Amino acid sequence: MKSYHDIGGEPGGEVDQTHYEYSLWELRVDAMLRLLSSKAKVMTIDELRRGIETLGEDRYDKERYYGKWAYSIAALMVEKGHITQNELDQRIEQVRERMEASL
């Protein structure tokens, strides 16, 4: 039986071919992956893929491409002990507060 992320060979509908400008957060996620997997050798692309494939069907379907990367990178950093879940949650809350204050 195929897993929810294995959509190879399934009808997917139309592919949007229009030019897409990456947002700042997407560029930052891409840069983080490159730094963590190449220069720092903290994680591998295979680990990123495993994290994406284990997001759960709802999150996998809901998130865009770089959103999946961000969740996977965060989970791997907690899994490997580079940051605790509590530290990550606190940092996310600080960012949310900063964003809300700027609106």
Q: Which domains does the chain have, with CATH numbers?
A: 24-102 (1.10.472.20)
What stretch of H or E contains 75?
helix 65-79
- Average per-residue pLDDT in the chain? 91
Q: What would you report as the CA-atom Rg of the chain, rounded to the nearest whole angstrom? A: 16
Q: What is the DSSP letter of 5?
A: T
What average pLDDT does the segment 42-64 reach? Answer: 95
What average pLDDT does the segment 60-88 reach? Answer: 96
Predicted pLDDT at 100: 94
pLDDT at 11 over 90: no
> Are the beta carbons of 75 and 51 closer than 8 angstroms?
yes
- What's the CA gap between 70 and 73, in Å, rounded? 5
- 44 contact partners, CB below 8 Å, separation of at least 6: 37
CA 63 vs. chain centroid, Å, equals 8
Question: Looking at per-residue confidence, does 71 or 14 come out higher?
Answer: 71
